[in-house]
Chains A and B, each alone.
Chain A
Amino acid sequence: MKTAFIFVLFTGLVIRLILVGNPGFEADISFWKSWSLAAIDHGIVWTAFNTNINYPPGFIYVLYLMGKLYSLLGDPHDYWTFWRVNNFSFLLASKSIAITADCVIAAMLYWFLKQKDKLVSLGVDQHLLTRNLPLIIATVFFLNPVVIIDSAVWGQVESLGLLFTLTAMLLLFYKRPLLATLIFAIGPQVKLQNIIFIPIFFIFVFRYYNLKTVIKSLAIFLTVFLLIILPFVIQGKTDQVLNLLTVNSDYFPWMSLNAHNLWWIVSKGAGMTTTDKVTVLGIMNAKKVGLYLFSAGYLIACLLTFLRPTARNFIMSLTFAIFSFFLLSTQSHERYSYPVAVLLLFLYPFLEKKFKKYFWILYSLFCLNIFFNIHAGLVINYPQNGLGFLTAVTNQTTTILNSYLSLILYLMMLPLVISQLSYLYILAAAAAFLLLIIASHLSYIAGGKMSLTSFKPIMIQQDYGSLQVNRSVNSFEGWKKWSRLSSSYFYYRKGFGTHANSNLVFDLNRKFSKLSTDYGIDTEAPTQATAVFQIYGDGKLLFESNKMGRFDFPQHIEVSISGIRYIGLKVTDAGDGINGDHADWFNPVLYK
């Protein structure tokens, strides 16, 4: 058996090594080059400030390792070799980290499934533990095209991030909750999407152990976090940690980042070019609807672990949570469903007999679905780096069909959850979703009016700084510069702080009849500031102000917007240049 497993490891490794030479997702690899070079040249903190890194702080240590590994094979300062897209040494150095993680996970699966006594104590029916099971499951993982394409072809590190969660999961089963937390805490710092697992992890610790263990675990979690960000703390630059952890929110404000999910269907296969701020349900945009849908799915995952805290349900909860995140949230990447292909294998031995045969159909379809999705994400950008025949059939129709398959698989996964939970809890989650929808419409239905600031613009354009909601434009420089909206010292709680020339477009879904707003130059603007304010409805000019100056009092306007879908708030520089033109829309209110 052991020899057979070693043979599998060897075969899988050979396949991966052969594929290492593929330039993969060239943008990711070139970013690894830039960031790893910065890490070895100037250190962790410097890298966070002087590159366009959008990964959590812990990943910079991985980049440092990548850079150091490459230094053993070549000179990272040899510009003409280092930056070449087919730089084999860098491809090997960068991909070897995820490939190593693949090997460790395979070994972990093999070892865990050989622990018969432990598995039985965790609730596995010993009659279902066949002799070959560890080898079969480890082989399915290690030779799985989903796992291979991610690490050996694309060059991503999903397996590394997941490795920490999986290790922690097993340690929890082995009654080592504190060590488990110590390792678990590293995962989200390497791959941010692992934060999805955090609440479920602590719910399980609470139910499987006790509150005291949760408190100790939380202390360890925070300690590990602090240790990872220690270089930032020492240099007094912890605000950059917050930036790295939040920078990805709205970094790509699209419905779907090549993820074949619900939003890929809604956007008709144009998820990468359709903003998720478009209104899709009543007065709610896609992002909010996606967040609420995901919350309902996540609630089910949490309830499962909370109400039935077994090893089986813990793994099932993690799987259901990450797939809910992939499927129902906007701004999802194609690779976010990757952990499902791994977690399901850990789940398999715990499943009841009636699910065993059904499982392999489900698992095969999942692998097909996830592999096609990741491959599509790769070849849409780099067709030369994918499989020719699969690239040839990757188009709008097949990607949308694959998205429907994702939805079907989500439904197929439900029996594994429902068998452990009463239908009432599923209904409760659905009710929670409906309540959230109703709550979002309450002020619209009951009050007949709502602030435009509760809408996110579908388009933001301005020539200086970034749009500020309920703050003046200079607040974009950071919290130390935060300032309230005002004009000639008239202060407002709500509104938009912007700068000429600016154009904000909102999708109102034809739900309102009137817009009222004040407008003017912000008090923080220099004395020469001037601007003209315009309101557009579906591209037609509805209102234009006189030229406003720094010492003018704020003005008020009400415009009819019946039947209008897109409302545009535009500020021009009044023809004299944009210098100092800090312009605000104050208290903009929409009436039903």
Chain B
Amino acid sequence: MENKDIVKIAVMTAGAAVILGGSLYAAYRYSLAKQGDIVLPGGTTYLGATPTGRVQPSTPPLRFTADATVPYKEHSGAIYPFSFSFPETLPLVVFTNDPTDSVAIAWGNIPPQQNILLNMELIEIREKTMVNKPKQEYVENWWKYFSGLKNVASVVPFTNIFGLKGYKASYVNYANTAPNVDVFFEVPGRNDLMIHMANGILDAAIFDRIVDSLKWTAATPTP
């Protein structure tokens, strides 16, 4: 009788363990089915040791490059319907509850917060009066929102292969140099938004390819 009880308990325990283990495995599979982006908390907080990329820079100056054979994959905005292609070796991260829907690069021992590849320009917040002005004027004056810049060097309008109208700009800093390329895209049907992309540490060919791949995939109603 006692033996029977022990067997019964053992079978039930084993059964319970299997069900619990199965539940955990199902939960694990379910988590894998969810989009697995790197998501960092908003604001200034602790992220552990400075993040490093899988592919480490070997020599200064820091410049991310990728072989032509590296496949490209797609990234889509969490809030806004933009998408672009990027080399799969380029480590991109996003931030929680970020109204600018920024996409940052976590590479080369630079904190991602200082290495933004793309962000939405919320013009109304930057300067309300700019909302209804020509977008080129906004781009020409963009440097005024940053204490490290002192003038605009050039603004060149262009259109990417998906028909998005953009401006390639460079700005003069207080060292009297214009080291970066900033690209701004107009958003169809939205006066209050622009898409801003910065080349940062990216090799020019890669940055150009990313810029060219940018799409706005839905008509967005004006708020």
A interface residues (Cβ-Cβ under 8 A, vs B): 10, 13-14, 17-23, 26-27, 30-31, 33-35, 37-38, 41-42, 47, 50-53, 76-77, 79-80, 82-88, 91-92, 381, 384-385
Contacts and interface: CB of A to CB of B under 8 A. Distances in A.
A31 B95 CA distance: 11
Contacts of A47: 46
Contacts of B30: 18, 21-22
Interface string B88-124: 0001010011000000001000000000000000000
Given A52-B44, A83-B93, A77 B31 contact: no
B157 interface: no
B52 interface: yes
A65 B92 CA distance: 30
Contacts of B49: 77, 79
Interface residues of B, number: 36
B7 interface: no
B41 A21 contact: no
A461 B40 CA distance: 27
Contact of B38 (A18, A19, A22, A85): A85
A452 to B, nearest CB: 25
Given A34-B41, A88-B27, A13 B20 contact: yes
A80 B32 contact: no
Looking at chain B's contact residues, the main secondary structure is loop
16 contacts: A14-B20, A30-B41, A31-B45, A33-B41, A34-B41, A34-B47, A35-B46, A42-B46, A51-B46, A79-B38, A80-B38, A84-B36, A84-B37, A85-B39, A86-B32, A88-B27
Contact of B96 (A13, A30, A51): A30
B23 A77 contact: no
A26 B91 CA distance: 20
B52 A34 contact: no
B34 A41 contact: no
A159 B51 CA distance: 34
Contacts of B47: 34, 37, 83
A450 to B, nearest CB: 32
Contacts of A19: 27
Contact of A80 (B24, B28, B91): B91
A79 B48 CA distance: 8
B97 A20 contact: no
Nearest to A42: B46
A31 to B, nearest CB: 5
B42 interface: yes
B43 interface: yes
A20 B44 CA distance: 28
Interface string B127-157: 0000000000000000000000000000000
Contact of B37 (A18, A76, A77, A85): A85
Contact of B48 (A10, A23, A77, A86): A77
Contacts of A10: 16, 19
B23 A88 contact: no
A18 B26 contact: yes
A86 B34 contact: yes
B75 interface: no
Nearest to A40: B48
Sorted nearest first, the 8 A-B pairs with minimum C-beta distance are A21-B31, A21-B27, A27-B96, A21-B30, A38-B46, A17-B23, A30-B41, A85-B39
A83 B41 CA distance: 9
Interface in B56-81: none
B125 to A, nearest CB: 11
A83 B16 contact: no
Nearest to A15: B23
B24 to A, nearest CB: 5
A31 B121 CA distance: 25
Given A37-B47, A88-B28, 5 more contacts: A21-B32, A31-B41, A79-B106, A80-B54, A84-B36
B48 A76 contact: yes
A334 B136 CA distance: 43
B29 A21 contact: yes
A440 B62 CA distance: 62
A85 B43 contact: no
Nearest to A3: B12
Nearest to A79: B51
Given A18-B23, A27-B97, A82 B48 contact: yes
Nearest to B16: A10
B35 interface: yes
Contact of B31 (A50, A76, A91): A91
Contacts of A77: 48-49
A462 B37 CA distance: 36
Contact of B27 (A17, A34, A385): A17
A463 to B, nearest CB: 11
A79 B37 CA distance: 12
A26 B46 contact: no
A503 to B, nearest CB: 12
Nearest to B37: A85
B53 to A, nearest CB: 9
Contacts of A82: 48
A20 B27 contact: yes
A79 B34 contact: no
A82 B28 CA distance: 15
Contacts of B27: 17-21, 88, 92
Contacts of A79: 38, 48-49, 51-52, 106
